[in-house]
Structure 1
């Protein structure tokens, strides 16, 4: 795991039991997004493929693409997430999806078992991904850039990437993929503007994500948040940014 990644295992367990990491109810408008990650995954996926999704959370996005592959396996290190994912699976009755609690550091699958591996907003280990991919298999990952939610981090004086260069993660991951034997490593990046529609939407985001570590544990956090909203309120909503990068690599 990269030194700038924090271990949020207990945090994600709690969130998984609450909502499965599905933030679909948050009212937010985004301008400047250049791709939808799981659309990029399915564009490269054949119906005969076996797909692994690392950091699957509550499984909502994997369930939404169930008809695009022969078998889809979602893993997450947090027990709460997998419990939510399996509950969601029961509701849909999809026969070709499995959800398993597993750490990305040790992928307990046969070598060359998967045709495609995806990983969205979760740490991965390039050697483990290479081990379970077939030769010629494709790995796609979307990660949060260090410059994400920069005006929030500046206002609070702390953030999940405090002290990191804005391009450190992408270079680290590219290097790790190259060392693991991946070729044709392509990178993409965008910095979109986001407008959260209400105070409650922003509170939910900060409370159930690690954007501002420990948000809400101090009474002063809510005073800081009110000041942030005053300074960033627009006709479209409360303004911040969403900065993402995507890597696509072939084994």
Structure 2
């Protein structure tokens, strides 16, 4: 999907749920880290954090006490509006939300101590511009091998035809070229069990894992067969493949 398509997609989802998947019942085995926990491990109470692709802001609102200030940005105006509403429903005072593209960060040079980016696009040169010297950038992204049995069942999907690991290596090389040192990467391939058919249906309806899911005449027949073939005692089985990159400026 091109950026303009992503913007439309995320706006529509933001109107409905604000990327809150808390009601989806899914059991996971093999997850090796919690991304925002990794972010807090590397901060001081005086630090300023920039969170790129913040969505409804749920994640950074939970870690606000670890930082002096957190700024969350998102391409979608609907997401930012949802995030501001979520903030109003808490007693958090040190978090701000702005609509902004990660391709053009409108902040002072060398302003942030830490920058995080979870499942959102970013521009390494822009990250390097606004991150302080010796600052840390952390990102978690979806690997090409994510939900691979689903993609095979449908014969299409996000990055379905791309070699697994290409995006990770691309980002690693781009970060090094942008001047980052000590660039480290990690990955895991966890097993997921969706408890009920409606949980998996919600995922497919509200994410672009299977592009244009539901528009094809055979989509629901394929999904029904997939659920029958991957039903276990723990739920409907698929996988969650993620990678994380940590880089120091």
- TM above 0.5: yes
Greater than 3 Å deviation, 4+ residue runs: 3-7
| Contact 1:17–1:83 (8 Å) recurs in 2 | no
Counterpart residue number, 1:89: 87
Counterpart residue number, 1:103: 101
What TM-score do you get using the length of structure 2 for normalisation? 0.98
Counterpart residue number, 2:234: 236
Gaps of 5+ in 2: none
Q: Using the TM superposition, give the Cα deviation of residue 134 of structure 1 relative to its aligned residue in structure 2, in angstroms.
A: 0.3
Q: Using the TM superposition, give the Cα deviation of residue 7 of structure 1 relative to its aligned residue in structure 2, in angstroms.
A: 4.1
In the alignment, the residues of structure 1 paired with residue 14 and residue 64 of structure 2 have an alpha-carbon distance, to the nearest angstrom, of 21
1:204-246 deviation per Cα after TM superposition (whole angstroms, max 9, x unaligned)? 0000001000011124211110000000000000000000000
1:2-58 deviation per Cα after TM superposition (whole angstroms, max 9, x unaligned)? x99884110000111111111111000000000000000000011100000000000
Counterpart residue number, 2:215: 217
Q: How does 1:168-207 map onto structure 2 within 5 Å?
A: 168-207=166-205
Counterpart residue number, 2:128: 130
In the alignment, the residues of structure 2 paired with residue 191 and residue 205 of structure 1 have an alpha-carbon distance, to the nearest angstrom, of 18
1:71-98 deviation per Cα after TM superposition (whole angstroms, max 9, x unaligned)? 0000000111101000001111311000
How many residues are aligned here? 249
Counterpart residue number, 1:52: 50
In the alignment, the residues of structure 2 paired with residue 27 and residue 82 of structure 1 have an alpha-carbon distance, to the nearest angstrom, of 26
Q: Using the TM superposition, give the Cα deviation of residue 163 of structure 1 relative to its aligned residue in structure 2, in angstroms.
A: 1.4
When the two chains are superposed, the root-mean-square deviation of aligned CA atoms in Å is: 1.3
Partner SS, residue 93 of structure 1: coil
Q: How does 1:54-69 map onto structure 2 within 5 Å?
A: 54-69=52-67
Counterpart residue number, 1:154: 152
2:69 maps to 1:71: yes
In the alignment, the residues of structure 1 paired with residue 241 and residue 82 of structure 2 have an alpha-carbon distance, to the nearest angstrom, of 27
| Contact 1:4–1:164 (8 Å) recurs in 2 | no
Between 1:7-16 and 1:119-128, the stretch displaced more is 7-16
Q: Using the TM superposition, give the Cα deviation of residue 179 of structure 1 relative to its aligned residue in structure 2, in angstroms.
A: 0.5
Gaps of 5+ in 1: none
